[in-house]
A and B are shown apart, each in its own frame.
Chain A
Amino acid sequence: MIRATLAVGVVALSTWAVAVFPRSILVFLLFQGSLLWVYLARIPRWLRATLLAAALLVLMPLIGSFNGYYLEVATQVGIFVALALGLNIVVGLAGLLDLGYVAFFAVGAYSWAIFGSPQANQIFGGGFPLAPGWFYVFLGVGLCVGAATGVLLGLPVLRLRGDYLAIVTLGFGEVIRVLANNLDKPINFTNGPKGITPIARPPVPFGLPYSEAFYFLVLLIVCVVVLVNRRLEDSHIGRAWEAIREDELAAQAMGVPLVRSKLLAFACGASFAGVMGVVFSAKQIFINPESFTFLESIGVLAMVILGGMGSIPGAVVGATVVTVLNLQVLKGFSLWLNELKNAGVTVFGMSLADLPTQLEPAKYERMIFGMILVLMMIFRPQGILPARRRARELGKP
């Protein structure tokens, strides 16, 4: 009872705090922390569900009305949660290290970007962009294209051993990026490094503003993805994947069809990325190859590793932490440092105004990703919120 009151209180308090201090990053972090706390607290199930639903469906859009940027952050978090969950299937469940995951995201994004903008006229002559309503059809198209690309990549390379597979998927990710960069000739498919714009946005019901509409759309997709993940995990296929991860030879001996199961894992993971790619391109209106670099793939990998390989809540938490770290904490620190610099503050007798101008803390995302990967591997390979099966296995002395 005390815990339940406390949980309600924490969420209410942090929401109120965000309303009072709409510009403070720390307070918004507090709000996110309170949600995690509610998830972990020992309170009745219905209360937890109600609180989380209320926070995500009502409070978050409300906060967005105080500070629109937070809603943007929440939407980005949602996109990365879906990506992390997709990669979680490939890396976490099936144990196949995929370093080119963002390629599937790119394929989805370009599929809507080309047909939802005048770009397609360059290929087919005329009649484009498609009506905005087609966006909803393209969610399905993105899913299929993503899955197909996954199978296409998987077919030749899945017989490789783990570490070779990782390098080949990395190469594949680079190939997709180089193609996106250079397929503006002989036929202009992708418009090269200049990117594609304007990409049509979908029609929105109830006259919602776009930022809110995308938030709810992403939330809906994330819910579906979580549901699919949970059903997969305990299914026949999910257990086959985990068997492959633990010991390929033993799994094969037990009658698990190796190639088919691995292909399925690749296709499932890739299809989530494909769908999110479609949403991403519509949300951004503009895409270019810069959004689909190796750095992004590693970012998603860092999310999965941080949360715990094979763990669904882990992937959600990992994606949230990394995205918020990237979008808010690093940028916030940069701004803060700049303010201090401009104010001429001195620390230890050294004026901050003398700091090198090239030193921009916001640019050090690689360092963050790198540290996450190394430290997690050395000290806590099972992640922050380990999967139950995995925790039992790694937890033994």
Chain B
Amino acid sequence: MDFQLLVDIFPQVLLDGLILGFMYALIALGYTMVYGVLEFINFAHSEIFIVGAFAGVEILLGLKGAGWLDGLPWPLVLLLLLLAGMAVSGLLAVTVERIAYRPLRSAPRLIPLISAIGVSFFLQDLIRLVESIWRNAFNLVYPTLDALNLRFELTETIDVSVKSIVVIVAALGMLWVLHLLVNRTKIGTAIRAVAEDQAAASLMGIDVNRIISLTFFIGGVMGGAAGVLFGVQYGLINPYSGFIPGLKAFTAAVLGGIGNIPGAMLGGIVLGLLEAFAASYLSLLTGGAFGAEYKDIFAFSVLILILIFRPKGLLGEIVRERA
């Protein structure tokens, strides 16, 4: 085995893992916030995430079609994409909650979960339908922004592209804003109160329905931003490509302790790193017998192991059994 090679690629893998990890963290926040408030897995969050990517690509293609893409400075374009993705995903999340989850709030807990799975499938084909009619294509490619593709070499084996830095900076910024929102504002206090005890919160004069909608909105906004960053980073998107990242982000949320916001961030980064290392080292360590194609299995095995041995996750509090 080429030990030197393992060492040489280490920083590059670390960087890739971090990018993936921040993406997972942003998506995982949507799962974890909703779970914290409603104790419910919002299965459709993976589609809310990918809708953000589609909103971004539509803006980009629109700008390109109008011939403005090269005229505008790239940070402005990126900001526009992020805002579009966040708005569309946030509103979609609120709509979904209103239509498919709210009528089922008092039902046994599997009922809203099944409804959420239905929403997830429905949205996948709805995106496909809309894009097929609108563009006659549903596998879309993000037009490249030249400035974002600039790479500079740190050493011989490591290079960093502008877009990976952008992804990390944007993700960090979003996480920081969310942290402030939840911990320093009145709205954040209300969200935490509803998560703690809905009945008591409503007695304190908090409009529980509004707070729940707001939680979905914030989760959707984070997911939409992640969607745009996903598109910018990886380029190719289709209506079904949100599913696996969504599932992994859920794994990340469970890994960090579901319902726990710093936990989701930590879980996302840990899972991203684990996956990047599994993808590049598995093949080297097993002499090519098992390769990167097993990285999905790796993530799911992590999920199963955590649930069995430490169901409350890395930072989680003990989850109560609801009778």
Contacts and interface: CB of A to CB of B under 8 A. Distances in A.
Interface of A: 95, 97, 99, 156-157, 159-164, 166-168, 170-172, 174-175, 178-179, 181-182, 185-186, 247, 249, 294, 298, 301-302, 305, 356-359, 363-367, 369-375, 377-378, 381
Contacts of B109: 162-163
A369 B118 CA distance: 7
Contacts of B125: 363-367, 370
A160 B321 CA distance: 11
B113 A370 contact: no
B308 interface: yes
B304 A378 contact: no
B321 A161 contact: yes
B117 A373 contact: yes
Nearest to B41: A163
A interface secondary structure, majority: helix
Contact of B133 (A359, A363, A364, A373): A359
B41 A373 contact: no
A161 B311 CA distance: 10
Contact of A168 (B126, B297, B304, B321): B304
Contact of B113 (A97, A175, A182, A247): A97
A265 to B, nearest CB: 15
A160 B311 CA distance: 9
A358 B118 contact: no
A95 B110 contact: yes
20 contacts: A163-B40, A164-B254, A167-B41, A167-B250, A167-B254, A171-B300, A175-B300, A178-B293, A181-B293, A182-B293, A185-B289, A305-B114, A356-B136, A367-B129, A371-B118, A373-B114, A375-B118, A377-B118, A378-B100, A378-B104
Contacts of A170: 247
Contacts of A160: 307-308, 311
Contact of B114 (A97, A174, A356): A97
Given A95-B110, A366-B122, A378-B100, A156 B41 contact: no
Contacts of B121: 298, 366-367, 369-370, 373
B137 interface: yes
Interface of B: 40-41, 100, 103-104, 107, 109-115, 117-126, 128-129, 132-133, 136-138, 243, 247, 250, 254, 289, 293-294, 296-297, 300-301, 303-304, 307-308, 311, 319, 321, 323
Nearest to A187: B289
A375 B111 CA distance: 11
A364 B129 contact: yes
Nearest to A378: B103
A369 to B, nearest CB: 5
A356 B136 CA distance: 5
Nearest to B111: A377
Contacts of A181: 293
Given A160-B311, A168-B307, A178-B293, A381 B132 contact: no
Nearest to A360: B132
Contacts of B254: 164, 167
A377 B126 contact: no
A100 to B, nearest CB: 10
Contacts of B111: 377, 381
A393 B132 CA distance: 44
Given A167-B303, A370-B117, A373-B117, 9 more contacts: A97-B113, A157-B307, A159-B308, A174-B247, A301-B117, A366-B124, A369-B118, A371-B118, A377-B112
A356 B133 contact: yes
B115 A377 contact: yes
Given A162-B110, A359-B133, A381-B107, A168 B303 contact: yes
Contacts of A182: 293-294
A302 B293 CA distance: 30
Most buried by B among A171, A356, A369: A171
Contact of B304 (A171, A357, A366, A374): A171
Nearest to B299: A171
Nearest to A249: B323
B302 to A, nearest CB: 10
Given A170-B247, A171-B304, A378 B115 contact: yes
A171 B303 contact: yes
B41 to A, nearest CB: 5
A370 B118 contact: yes
Contacts of B41: 163, 166-167
Contacts of A171: 247, 300, 303-304
A98 to B, nearest CB: 11
A374 B133 CA distance: 24
Nearest to B287: A186
A370 B115 CA distance: 8
B122 A370 contact: yes
A373 B311 contact: no
Closest 5 CB pairs of A and B: A373-B118, A370-B122, A370-B121, A171-B300, A367-B125
Contacts of B308: 156-157, 159-160
A97 B110 contact: yes
Contacts of A378: 100, 103-104, 115
B110 A370 contact: no
A363 B126 CA distance: 12
